[in-house]
Structure 1
Amino acid sequence: MHEQFYTILQVSEIIPSVSVSISDGSARIETLLHDSRKVSNPAYALFFALAGRRDGHQFIEEVYASGVRNFVVSNDEIDHANFPAANFIVVRDTLAAMQALAAYHRGRFACPVIGITGSNGKTIVKEWLAQLLAPEYRIIRSPKSYNSQLGVALSLWQLDDTYELAIIEAGISQPGEMQALQRMIRPDIAVLTSIGPAHDDGFSSTTEKITEKLRLFEDAKHAVYSPDDVQGVTVPSMGAHTTWGSGNVVLQVVGYEMIADKRCRIQARHANTDMAIVIPFTDAAAKSNALCCWAVMLSMGYEQSVIAHRMALLQPVEMRLEMKKGINNCTVIDDSYSNDLSSLAIALDFLRQQQQHPTRTLILSDIPGADGHEEQVYSKVSNLLADNKIDRIITVGPQLLERADKFGFLNHIAFRDTDSLLDSLADLTFEHEAILLKGARKYAFERVSGALMAKVHDTVLEINLNAVEHNLNQYKTLLPSPVKLMAMVKAFSYGSGSFEVANLLQFNKVDYLAVAYVDEGVELRKSGIRLPIMVMSPSPASFEALVARRLEPELYSFTVLDDFIRVLSNQDVTGYPIHIKVDTGMHRLGFPVQDAKRLSSRLQNTDAVKVQSIFSHLAAAGDAEHDAFTERQLNAFGKFANELTAALGYPVIRHIANSVAIQRWPQAHLDMVRLGIGLYGVENKLDSRLLLQQTGTLKTVITQIRQVAAGDSVGYGRRGRLVKESTIATVNIGYADGYDRRFGNGVGYMTVKGRKVRTVGDICMDMTMLDLDGIDAAEGDEVIVFGDVTELAANIGTIPYELLTGISQRVKRVYYYG
């Protein structure tokens, strides 16, 4: 058996280094780190200070303080005396160094590797192959969609000699990227899924993109692809080619047949023999992905009877981790679509980020494929749990039951199967805790999730936390490194949630949060948010609560300033942080610009407060017609801020730029910017340089479908008159949920099965009626209520803010990482 670790001295010999400073050459390396926020297993970790948007060298002191003693850096000016027990390997490129280590590690193991690339379907094909090949192999695969230059290296690092097959994704977005991935993966079987428009903007042509992706195939023993996707580009593999599609191919598709229970029969010819598979899916993407998997299995020598049997049993792939409101003020994190060590580590890391509850509970099933390696696998599980500070573990399955001794340091409750857990659920206490569900598919943890969920109606607002994080990083690319960032989470984070979004922002180290009212800030503090929080509309009645929770008020008039100073004086508080709002032209709230001298005098005569920031609000930063007015606002603000700061005699943060000004007015970045609606994927179209992602999707379901005769009417006041016989669907959302009444009578539309359907009649309090107009839908089918909020808002003469903030609190929020 190979050793499953390296010494730091061995690592220094594997990766190309400029210089090495080793204080303990025997230091053991088991874990690769690249993010100071995600330090795990610090005693045996190696931190790579990656360059990029966040320079990892800035966090070495923080990582060292957390217990890490091994570093790969590209800055040879670090004063090693400040880190007396540390080992440093200095390289030219830290990412390339990590990739070199991953490539070496991959080369130590003889198990076959399947490498998958393409535009669409990579992750689905990977997951389906894992299902299809599991009976013969213990498989390691890229967790979730870890297919980047960094993700591939981290995926390969998980290899050890207990695995019999590796399935690794390779994703690229521009020329020159595949070479590094190919050197690491070196696939025995290279697979190309379908080619689509994804990442087209990174290449000069589709041909260039295909050529780059096919570099993965160099030196592969088997190549699997459809000639339709390579579009005439030569596939560089010198090994056997298993092609699929139409024409002269190895697996020739003859036709498709839809059959009962939403299944599809795919008919094909292979080796002059007619054959077929049935898959439990009917959409075009599923057919393409299934054919790709079929070709891979043929290339591996599987009998057609085995392929057909397993294809019929394919399961849908839920790649997203969901966070939902649970019973008794709990948060349920459902990541039970798969269960392996890599995805468990990722899910535990997400659980550790949650600060809103004092207790963290893990419900874990046996890990598939551990047979014969149980001791090694569950020892790693035990180490993961100890490292991630789990308070309680509930296990399901005979392997975990037999190894209860490995979890003696935890509050551990063990069950042999899921039924036993469900039978005992009423006797277990779940209250004010974060609960992570991580179960293999056969344990059907969806039943556990359902039992732990708070009961609400079927309308949900799904918030993609990946998209929130992506949008945050998009705006950060526009900011010079010294500029701070305040994120607006007022109005329930523009309808997207409170602590859930704030937790993500805290993890991503924004500098400030801003809320509208003290109550919002109090809730964030109760949920474990430690960031500075500015309250934009504090009332004097709330000042004591504000001070008790260390919230920072916006002060905009002498009356409010004097009231706050009085409260502080009564409590003998000094130096309390405040934020001064100045009115430069919005004429809403703020000290007049001409009052700078008077305000300076008032602040100089008290030690109760300390000005943390001076700010104003741009009235029309996104409207080119008013750019001259914006210039005048900026000039007025600069003059006021300079005068006040000079009088105070200490540095003060200045901020005036909102989301659109971050893009259009770089001279307004100053010391800090305030990111609001842009964080949630809505941007100003006048200067759309950012690739923002929609963060929220409002969904409901069809409650009832009925046929209504021509000439009849639908809804209150009989305003929904039908000119022809129509199929009318009633859906579970109305104006009490935040679906505006102005969307009634055909003004609004929703999406059913990918097609737009118009509203019929007035919007009701709890329901809306839709004209299905020829769509083959069924009761219980999903309906997308809000997609593009910018377009929908324009349809009723309002703005996206109103639609987003108007979504009722009774609508369940489901948070997920996609």
Structure 2
Amino acid sequence: MSYLDTEEVIKACGGILMNGDMGIPFSGVSTDTRTLRPGELFVALKGKRFDGHDFWREALDRGAKGLVISRIPEGMRLEDCPRTVSVILVRDTLLALGELARYLRVKRGLRVLAISGSCGKTSTKEMCAAVLSRRFRVFRNPGNFNNLVGLPLSLLAVPEGTEAGVFELGVSVPGEMSRLREILEPDAALLTNVRPAHLEGLGSLERVLEEKFRLYAELPETAHLIVNRDEEEIYRRTRDLPHPRITYGLHIEAEVRAEDIRVRPEGTVFTPWVEGRRLEPVRLHFLGDHFVRNALAAVAAGLVFGVPPEEAFSALSELRPLPGRLRPVRTPRYLILDDTYNANPGSVYEALRVFWEAGQEFSPRVVVLGDMLELGPEAERWHEAVGRQAGQVAHLVIAVGDKAGVVAEAARRSGARTRAYSTVEELLSELEIPEGAAVLVKGSRALALERVVEKLREV
């Protein structure tokens, strides 16, 4: 199967051929001339701080076989362009990128699972991919390629021969979910939860729920819903939808559920039930019942795609946490829970709860808590809340960032000793934690708190 040619690009995005011919083929699609490879199609996106149209000449110099543009760039003379290069004019290059991705998804014949939610998207994505890999050749979008640019680029990177795709969807402003769903056209969808996150763009928790829920509500009626039974509002809303549905969670009514959950520093053990049948106990290399929920979601997804539960749990028992996602790190001096990938109030609460369970035998218990970003006008209230929670489970709370004072004061009122630092550099210069401690390190991505983890590992 060929990748894409000019005729297909024009068919997909409704463009006008300004130069070249319909038969020119492309080996891939790129939006960045720094990584563009010879033979690829360059799509000139326009962002807040850049305009891809300014790099058309660089794209040609690097071997691009086609350009998708929404205007004739400055300095370009169509009559001077090589006839072996297709120049395609479209109304909107971002829209065109999404339409190209949608076209290729159908051409590849993928079965697709979409995952969204405020917390746990990436871990659930990895677990679902592991489960589906037992029966299919699976592709999943890398890293945070989950927005209106990243999702299309992920779809356009799906290798030939792939049978199933697992795609994480992230939204931060109204309207994004509808467009992401439209591009992806999933066969099944999974919404992990809704928590305070991206409030700057979405305004309130209710609006976050409304935006996320579009993933379910706007699917064709034949698509499957994989529903967290523990999220009562999400579950209640899905009851009015006509789609086939499977539930998972810790709730006694969930079709895929778990009981007898035990969290230890080396992992989590539980007994699963699937559609009324009790299975053998399972051990995950993950800490906490929120990861158990993620695993149950993956098993439910496996059922939708035809993977037996025994195979699914076998795959999950072999999986290891990704760096920065509540990953336990043992050193001669400490137990470190590395949860530095990102933070919002919901994920901080889950991390603190797991820390309390897994760190019982350690003393002291130390929480290093960085700022949570994108919380809008309610930021101070949420930082006070997590500071209060941290003070209830830790002997020492070390806060860092612009809201460090708020976090530290709330933790102090809850009974913990506290330290506050404006910057991570300041914290690193004075970092000193007693031997034998359990240490949770958690904060938003921008703070790069993995530097704290690395320093503790070196001690």
**TM-score normalised over the length of structure 2:** 0.67
2: CA distance, partners of 1:785 / 1:107: 40
Q: Is the 8 A contact 1:116 1:190 kept in 2?
A: yes
Q: SS where residue 130 of structure 1 aligns?
A: helix
Partner residue of 1:294?
Answer: 299
Partner residue of 1:647?
Answer: none
2: CA distance, partners of 1:303 / 1:783: 36
1: CA distance, partners of 2:432 / 2:203: 47
Aligned length: 362
Based on CA coordinates, which of the two structures has the bigger radius of gyration?
Answer: 1
What is the CA deviation profile of residues 102-159 of structure 1, one whole-angstrom value per residue up to 9, with x for unaligned ones? 1111111333211111111111111122223323221111012211111111111123
1: CA distance, partners of 2:432 / 2:323: 30
How far apart are residue 465 of structure 1 and its match?
A: 12
Out of 249, 253, 262, the position equivalent to 1:257 is: 262
For residues 326-345 of structure 1, the aligned pairs below 5 Å read none
2: CA distance, partners of 1:98 / 1:156: 10
What is the CA deviation profile of residues 35-63 of structure 1, one whole-angstrom value per residue up to 9, with x for unaligned ones? 232222x2x11111111221111222222
For residues 90-239 of structure 1, the aligned pairs below 5 Å read 90-217=89-216, 218-219=219-220, 221-229=223-231, 231-232=233-234, 234-235=237-238, 238-239=242-243
Q: Is the 8 A contact 2:131 2:299 kept in 1?
A: no
Evaluate the alpha carbon distance shift between residue 136 and residue 271 of structure 1 in structure 2; reply closer, same or farther with a 3 A threshold. Answer: closer
The residue type equivalent to 2:43 in the other structure is F
Partner residue of 1:425?
Answer: none
2: CA distance, partners of 1:771 / 1:16: 64
How far apart are residue 784 of structure 1 and its match?
A: 5.7
What is the CA deviation profile of residues 303-345 of structure 1, one whole-angstrom value per residue up to 9, with x for unaligned ones? 343334333222122379xxxxxxxxxxxxxxxxxxxxxxxxx
How far apart are residue 97 of structure 1 and its match?
A: 0.4
2: CA distance, partners of 1:226 / 1:317: 22
Does structure 1 residue 305 correspond to structure 2 residue 304?
no
1: CA distance, partners of 2:162 / 2:241: 25
Out of 272, 278, 300, the position equivalent to 2:276 is: 272
What is the CA deviation profile of residues 656-686 of structure 1, one whole-angstrom value per residue up to 9, with x for unaligned ones? xxxxxxxxxxxxxxxxxxxxxxxxx99xxxx
Evaluate the alpha carbon distance shift between residue 106 and residue 129 of structure 1 in structure 2; reply closer, same or farther with a 3 A threshold. Answer: same
2: CA distance, partners of 1:190 / 1:88: 37
1: CA distance, partners of 2:230 / 2:440: 34
Q: SS where residue 195 of structure 1 aligns?
A: coil
2: CA distance, partners of 1:768 / 1:67: 50
Does structure 1 residue 317 correspond to structure 2 residue 313?
no
Out of 3, 28, 34, the position equivalent to 1:5 is: 3
Q: Larger relative CO (CA 8 A, sep 6+): 1 or 2?
A: 2
Q: Is the 8 A contact 1:264 1:282 kept in 2?
A: yes
1: CA distance, partners of 2:430 / 2:183: 54
Q: SS where residue 38 of structure 1 aligns?
A: coil
RMSD: 4.3
Partner residue of 2:47?
Answer: 52
How far apart are residue 171 of structure 1 and its match?
A: 1.1
What is the CA deviation profile of residues 778-807 of structure 1, one whole-angstrom value per residue up to 9, with x for unaligned ones? 6xx5576999xx9xxxxxxxxxxxxx9xx9
1: CA distance, partners of 2:208 / 2:432: 45
1: CA distance, partners of 2:442 / 2:97: 45
Q: SS where residue 172 of structure 2 aligns?
A: coil
Evaluate the alpha carbon distance shift between residue 254 and residue 39 of structure 1 in structure 2; reply closer, same or farther with a 3 A threshold. Answer: same
2: CA distance, partners of 1:93 / 1:249: 44
Long gaps (5+) in structure 2: 326-332, 343-369, 380-394, 397-407, 420-428
What is the CA deviation profile of residues 675-719 of structure 1, one whole-angstrom value per residue up to 9, with x for unaligned ones? xxxxxx99xxxxx99x9xxxxxxxxxxxxxxxxxxxxxxxxxxxx
For residues 541-580 of structure 1, the aligned pairs below 5 Å read none
The residue type equivalent to 2:269 in the other structure is R
What is the CA deviation profile of residues 599-656 of structure 1, one whole-angstrom value per residue up to 9, with x for unaligned ones? xxxxxxxxxxxxxxxxxxxxxxxxxxxxxxxxxxxxxxxxxxxxxxxxxxxxxxxxxx
Q: SS where residue 108 of structure 1 aligns?
A: helix
Q: Is the 8 A contact 2:31 2:44 kept in 1?
A: yes
How far apart are residue 9 of structure 1 and its match?
A: 3.1
2: CA distance, partners of 1:249 / 1:465: 30
The residue type equivalent to 1:47 in the other structure is F
What is the CA deviation profile of residues 367-399 of structure 1, one whole-angstrom value per residue up to 9, with x for unaligned ones? xxxxxxxxxxxxxxxxxxxxxxxxxxxxxxxxx
Percent of aligned pairs with the same amino acid = 25
Q: SS where residue 108 of structure 2 aligns?
A: coil
Evaluate the alpha carbon distance shift between residue 4 and residue 69 of structure 1 in structure 2; reply closer, same or farther with a 3 A threshold. Answer: closer
1: CA distance, partners of 2:98 / 2:4: 15
2: CA distance, partners of 1:756 / 1:39: 52
For residues 26-37 of structure 1, the aligned pairs below 5 Å read 26-37=23-34
For residues 239-638 of structure 1, the aligned pairs below 5 Å read 239-245=243-249, 246-258=251-263, 262-275=266-279, 276-318=281-323
2: CA distance, partners of 1:266 / 1:812: 31
2: CA distance, partners of 1:304 / 1:786: 35
Q: Is the 8 A contact 2:26 2:41 kept in 1?
A: yes
What is the CA deviation profile of residues 559-588 of structure 1, one whole-angstrom value per residue up to 9, with x for unaligned ones? xxxxxxxxxxxxxxxxxxxxxxxxxxxxxx
The residue type equivalent to 1:52 in the other structure is G
How far apart are residue 179 of structure 1 and its match?
A: 1.6
How far apart are residue 267 of structure 1 and its match?
A: 3.5
Q: Is the 8 A contact 1:758 1:770 kept in 2?
A: no
What is the CA deviation profile of residues 215-258 of structure 1, one whole-angstrom value per residue up to 9, with x for unaligned ones? 22312522112144361562376332111231533234444224
2: CA distance, partners of 1:198 / 1:237: 26
Evaluate the alpha carbon distance shift between residue 103 and residue 192 of structure 1 in structure 2; reply closer, same or farther with a 3 A threshold. Answer: same
Partner residue of 1:72?
Answer: 68
Q: Is the 8 A contact 1:265 1:279 kept in 2?
A: yes
Q: Is the 8 A contact 2:33 2:62 kept in 1?
A: no
The residue type equivalent to 1:70 in the other structure is G
Q: Is the 8 A contact 2:26 2:65 kept in 1?
A: no
Long gaps (5+) in structure 1: 321-456, 467-680, 683-687, 692-727, 730-747, 760-765, 791-803
2: CA distance, partners of 1:52 / 1:100: 18
2: CA distance, partners of 1:21 / 1:5: 21
1: CA distance, partners of 2:185 / 2:205: 24
1: CA distance, partners of 2:212 / 2:443: 35
Q: Is the 8 A contact 1:243 1:249 kept in 2?
A: yes
Does structure 1 residue 38 correspond to structure 2 residue 43?
no
How far apart are residue 98 of structure 1 and its match?
A: 0.8
The residue type equivalent to 1:90 in the other structure is L
2: CA distance, partners of 1:66 / 1:813: 43
